[in-house]
């Protein structure tokens, strides 16, 4: 009987791992942040993020825009505020996926062009419903595509939100001491 229970438990564990969402650990100079990604809701965005993580794109990039009470944005600049050339093309906006920009969710940053997101992302510090997709009847249809959430390390996110910021060239809300993304390691991949 004990052997049957052990076999059953091992099978359930294997099934749970097989169905687990992709997870990454983002190590910064202020601590680690674990993200669970949602490929069933934002397949192209997750695919692009994992591709860039696998190929080391995010190493030595920074959180270059930090607005306490709003969000922290990173993934596109080095500590000299030089933009890193993306390896991936712009994405079709996946904001109409039912996910909302709530505290702790991760979404793609973009320009005014709704289909311009490439590599930069942000972590919401509070519920930012004004960033969500709206129906065409609302007049503003495109939001910012949520593709994951913080599962561990929200204390690190909150610590980043409190760093002093200033201006750097044309950019505002730049940490005065760089918050460096040292690496983004894939822990599990669906």
Q: Nearest-CA neighbor of 107 among 79, 173, 96?
A: 96
Architecture of domain 21-188: Beta Barrel (2.40)
Domain residues of the chain, as ranges? 21-188
Contact 147, 98 (CB under 8 A): no
Q: How far apart, in whole angstroms, are the C-alpha atoms of residue 125 and residue 25? A: 18
Cβ atoms of 186 and 22 closer than 8 Å: yes
At 141 the pLDDT is 75
- What is the DSSP-derived secondary structure letter of residue 166? E
- At residue 12, the pLDDT reads 46
Structure tokens at 120: 């930069």
Residues 6 or more apart in contact with residue 74 via CB below 8 angstroms: 61, 62, 63, 64, 65, 120, 121, 122, 179, 181
Low-confidence ranges of the chain (pLDDT < 70): 1-19, 136-140, 190
Which pLDDT belongs to residue 16?
45
CA-based nearest residue to 33, from 150, 114, 140, 112: 150
pLDDT digits (tens, 9 = 90+) for 2-33: 555 555 555 544 444 445 799 999 999 999 99
Rounded CA-CA distance 123/64 in Å is 12
Separation CA 75–CA 25 (nearest Å):
14
CA–chain centroid gap for 144, Å, is 12
Q: What is the pLDDT of residue 138?
A: 59
pTM of the predicted protein model: 0.88
How many other CB atoms are found less than 10 A from the CB of residue 87?
13
- List the one residue out of 189, 167, 24, 183 whose CA is nearest residue 106: 24
């Amino acid at each position: 009987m004990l052997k049957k229970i052990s076999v059953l438990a091992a099978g359930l564990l294997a099934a749970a791992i097989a169905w687990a969402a992709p997870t990454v650990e983002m190590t910064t100079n202020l601590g680690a942040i674990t993200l669970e990604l949602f490929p069933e809701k934002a397949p192209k965005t997750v695919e692009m993020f994992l591709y860039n993580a696998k190929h080391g794109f995010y190493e030595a990039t920074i959180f270059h825009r930090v607005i306490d009470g709003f969000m922290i944005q990173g993934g596109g600049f080095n500590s000299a505020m030089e933009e890193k050339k993306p390896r991936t093309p712009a994405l079709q906006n996946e904001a109409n996926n039912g996910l909302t920009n709530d505290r702790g969710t991760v979404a793609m940053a973009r320009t005014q062009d709704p289909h311009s997101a490439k590599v930069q992302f942000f972590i919401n510090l509070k519920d930012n419903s004004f960033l969500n997709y709206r129906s065409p009847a609302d007049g503003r249809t495109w939001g910012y595509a949520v593709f994951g959430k913080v599962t561990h390390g929200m204390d690190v996110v909150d610590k980043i939100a409190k760093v002093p910021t200033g201006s750097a060239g044309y950019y505002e809300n730049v940490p005065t001491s760089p918050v460096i993304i040292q690496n983004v390691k894939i822990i599990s991949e669906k």
